[in-house]
Amino acid sequence: MTNPLPFDAYNLLSDAECQTRIRAARAQLGKEVVLLCHHYQRADIYQHADLTGDSLKLSRLAAQTDSPYIVFCGVHFMAEVADMMSKPSQTAILPDLAAGCSMADMANLAKVERCWRELGEVLDVEQEFTPVTYINSAADLKAFCGAHGGIVCTSSNAGSIAKWAFTQRPKILFFPDQHLGRWTGHKMGIPLEDMMVWDPDREYGGLTHDQIKKAKILLWKGHCSVHQMFQKRHIDAFRAQHPDGIVISHPECNFEVCAASDHVGSTELIVKTIKEAPPGTRWLVGTELNLVERLAREVAPEGKIVQFMASTICMCSTMQRIDPQHLAWTLENLAAGHVVNPIVVPPHEAELARLALDRMLAIS
């Protein structure tokens, strides 16, 4: 057995040394640990995955295992979901607590509660609005939705979730990603002018009382820093050069990019669509670079060409924080009987958040 080093010592190890230590610790731990990797995870971590997928899929799969330790190579909100959906006997671990999500950080509980109070000054908010939070959000926002008759959605089920929400109340407050909310509303036939952006840093979201009363969906002013890099001009240039090419984008992209794409969907749908496409097809993909490059390598033997949409490199920088040094530190400590960086959602918060998650799972 290799004894764990002091935390700072791992930063002095090369990636190759860390890979050796990771493999040794995993061999010692065996089925005591299940290692989850999100699609956006860097290749030198992804290679160690037991399970891969998007955040919800991974949490559901982990809960079906008997491994007492769930090491989630993703970001903070994903590990929170894993903690809430797993068994009491399982412990969710995030190798680096600094691995967050800039989009999730754009909506915090204090700002959402202030929004709810201000909406209540304009109309009967509990009767008019269903709060819907994207799964890319903190556990306390999921709990807020659970407490107020709301629900969680993913990029793959947002449409069905929105339909449910409208059966509950006539309006939706959607956070934290305005682009997923806008595309979802558009696909339901809601005019763009009936979907207003709520700016949490301005009084009443920067809206008049009449605009709030008119809106069908209030879109939180939030976005993914990776997906906002993609622009319609990237699609125009691709089509000019490859008229037979196919464009597929994630719904976190802006409206113009989604509208100009041939397909719009979640990371799981992007992977499935391209893998099932005929050989020899060419694709332009609007989502995170690690996923696109991995997918390009996997389908290359079939003569498929997969191209990243942006002209500049844009990775999920917070996901990149999970590196070989942090993973080696995490696993070696586990092998020595020490749990580092456990993610534990407070029980009352977890109970309310699970209400919103269970509503989603019952529908989708």
Nearest to 251 by CA among 269, 233, 276: 269
- Sheet arrangement for strand 51-53: 51-53, 33-38, 69-73, 91-93, 342-343
Type of residue numbered 278:
P
Residues 6+ apart with CB under 8 A from 307: 238, 282, 283, 284, 285, 292, 296
262: DSSP letter? S
At the top level of CATH, the class of 104-225 is: alpha beta
Report the Cα–Cα distance between both ends of the chain, in Å, rounded.
45
Q: What pLDDT tens digit does each residue of the chain (364 aa) get?
A: 568 999 899 999 999 999 999 999 999 999 999 999 988 888 899 999 999 988 778 778 878 888 999 999 988 998 999 999 999 999 999 999 988 778 888 999 999 999 999 999 999 999 999 999 999 999 999 999 999 999 999 999 999 999 999 999 999 999 999 999 999 999 999 999 999 999 999 999 999 999 999 999 999 999 988 888 999 999 999 999 999 999 999 999 999 999 999 999 999 999 999 999 999 999 999 998 989 999 999 999 999 999 999 877 665 656 678 999 999 999 999 999 999 999 999 999 999 999 999 999 998 7
How many residues are recorded in the chain?
A: 364
Q: Nearest 10 degrees: CA dihedral of 359, 94, 75, 274?
A: -80
Per-residue pLDDT at 1 = 58
User: Which CATH entry fits the domain spanning 227-308: 3.40.50.460, 3.30.2290.10, 3.20.20.70, 3.40.50.10800?
Assistant: 3.40.50.10800
Q: Distance of alpha carbon 267 from its chain centroid, rounded? A: 9
Q: Domain coordinates of the chain in residue numbers? A: 7-100+318-346, 104-225, 227-308
pTM of the model: 0.92
Q: Which CATH superfamily is domain 7-100+318-346 in?
A: NadA-like (3.40.50.10800)
Q: Distance of alpha carbon 103 from its chain centroid, rounded? A: 9
Domains 104-225 and 227-308 are alike in CATH topology: yes
Per-residue pLDDT at 21 = 96
Give the CA angle between residues 118, 121, 127 to the nearest 5°: 95
Per-residue pLDDT at 60 = 80
In which element (H, E) is residue 286 found?
A: strand 282-286
> Quick one: 243 exposed, middle or buried, by C-beta within 10 A (0-12, 13-18, 19+)?
exposed
